[in-house]
Amino acid sequence: MPESAAEIWERQKQSIAGGVMSLNRAIDPMRVFVRARGAFLWDHEGNRYIDYHAAFAPYLLGHGDEEVDNAVIECVKSGASLIGAGTTPWEGEVAEMLVECVPGLERVQLTNSGSEAVVYALRLARAATGRENVLIMQGGYNGWMDYVSYNLMDPASVLEDHEAGERYPLRPITAGIPKVVEQTVRVVEYNDVEAAERVLAERDVAALILEPILQNIGVVKPDPGYLESLRELCDRYGTVLVFDEVKTGFRHALGGYQSVAGVIPDLCVFGKAVANGYPVGVVGGRESVMAHCAHPDPARRVVVAGTYNAHPFTVAATKATLAKLMSREEEIYGELERLGARMEAGLNALFGKRNYPATVVRQGSAFVVYFMDRAPRNWREIAMDNDADKDLAYRKALIDAGVFHFPVTTKQGSISFAHTDEDIDRTLEITDEVLNRLG
């Protein structure tokens, strides 16, 4: 008998702290995955799942995209190596592609992850403004670093007394952040312009950072005019506006969500879909802010350093991903929208015929089902009104039936270019059966 997933996990706890690498991957019940291709995952017992988790969303083109993988294989074979001195032609090529694609990118730097890119963005904002404080959003996730690790999915009980327009008390999502860091972080509600203005009016905020759509708590969209108002406020109070497009970037458009919204931030960060699953982050933005990377005054210069930054293999993956997206932009984004719309219509029909209190929210290929009667405008509404038990039961039942959504409430689903009509229709059939069972 092969070991069960639970047995493997128990054994691995003897060597891996917590039994799984990157502990936000821990799921209940534990599963052990060994392979993925296109729209599918396989676990160690050979069970196949239609994948909508997409490894927390990088797989825009699907797992194992041939053009991207072949570019990496060719790069390995070519003798390209990490030299760690001087520049390379390919890092310039990828930078030119990024600048061409995204309106807010005049200059860029590459990192190995979204979290690193966020940290550089905050440093750059501080260097450019001479201020220290950072404003983040309740329900936003901007990576695991100290300055942004607060107020993600707080329970209703601690949000109940919060008054609209007010700052939130800080609630770290991790142990180990020095208390002193708290003095530099402010948190407000997403879609609350008044609250943001109150904080910015204190005139000590270096950066306002937000996901333009909150996609770590499903798909929470900006109210009409919200991003425009933040842009205007940041201009008025001299704060650097940072869009964290690690999830929205390249998923919704080649120009990021900023190109869809028509609001251009001062700085923006990307990751995930930009390299279709290979580890790359991008920080970039206005030339005047990015110039601090090489400021003549050492006291105003931001150190950007990383042994593996712009590693040739991950640059090859990024170039191949961007080349595919750029050369087939209309086709790929058109198809992602079409597949997303098919999923949304199908889910609405399934919930509608049961009179189920569920709301499907979608932006292109990103979607979520909230177990509440409306699309939420912020995390507080979700914490108060989303039926978390139903949400979790639904996800677990889908996984058992061969459709993989991450089994944590409100986690966004991602459709890839490798999904087909048949996959969506099969997903809907399975969902129908699951809903029959759950009642």
Which residues of this protein are in contact with ligand PLP, per CB under 6 A?
A: 56, 113-115, 118, 141-143, 211, 216, 244, 246-247, 271, 281
Cβ 141 to ligand PLP shortest distance, Å: 5
How many residues in total does the chain contain? 439
Instruction: Spell out the residues 6+ positions from residue 48 whose beta carbon is closer than 8 angstroms to its own.
Output: 40, 41, 42, 402
Question: What residues are paired with 214 via a beta bridge?
Answer: 220
- Between the alpha carbon of residue 407 and those of residues 36, 181, 356, the distances in Å are 18, 32, 20
Give 276 or 431: the residue with its C-beta nearer to ligand PLP: 276
Q: Which is nearer to ligand PLP, 104 or 143 (CB)?
A: 143
Q: What are 413's strand-pairing partners? A: 367
**Token couple for 316:** 């090859």
Least distance CB 128 / ligand PLP (angstroms): 21
Q: How far is the CB of 246 from ligand PLP (least distance, A)?
A: 3
Question: Is the previous residue joined to 29 through a cis bond, with omega within 30 degrees of 0?
Answer: yes
* Nearest distance from C-beta of residue 251 to ligand PLP, angstroms: 11
In the block, residue with structure tokens 């931030």: 265
User: What's the min distance (Å) between Cβ of 272 and ligand PLP?
Assistant: 7
- 10 Å CB burial of residue 126 (0-12, 13-18, 19+) is buried
- Is the Cβ of residue 272 or residue 286 nearer to ligand PLP in the bound state? 272
Shortest CB 215 distance to ligand PLP, Å = 6
Is the Cβ of residue 113 or residue 365 nearer to ligand PLP in the bound state? Answer: 113
| Joined tokens for residue 324 | 């595919």
Q: Where do the H-state alpha helices sit in 133-255? A: 156-159, 179-182, 193-200, 226-237
Place of tokens 């914490």: 383
- Gap between the terminal Cα atoms of the chain: 35
CB of 271 to ligand PLP, least distance (A): 4
Tokens 């979607």 belong to which residue? 367
Q: Count Cβ atoms within 10 A of the Cβ of residue 204 and give its class: 0-12 exposed, 13-18 middle, 19 or more buried.
A: middle
CB of 115 to ligand PLP, least distance (A): 3
Nearest distance in Å: CB 160, ligand PLP: 26
Residue nearest to ligand PLP (CB): 114
Nearest distance in Å: CB 216, ligand PLP: 5
Q: Please provide residue 102's backbone torsions phi and psi, each rounded to the nearest 5 degrees.
A: -110, 125
* Shortest reach from residue 330's CB to ligand PLP, in Å: 26
- Compute the radius of gyration of the chain from its Cα atoms: 22
Tokens of 31: 């599963």
Amino acid at 148: V
Is the Cβ of residue 142 or residue 309 nearer to ligand PLP in the bound state? 142
SS3 content of the chain, % helix, strand, coil (to 5): 40, 15, 40
Is the CB of 114 or the CB of 413 nearer to ligand PLP? Answer: 114
Per-residue HEC secondary structure of 340-395 comes to HHHHHHHHHHHHHHCCCCCEEEEECCEEEEECCCCCCCCHHHHHHHCCHHHHHHHH
Query: Smallest Cα–Cα separation from 412: which of 225, 260, 274, 272?
Result: 272
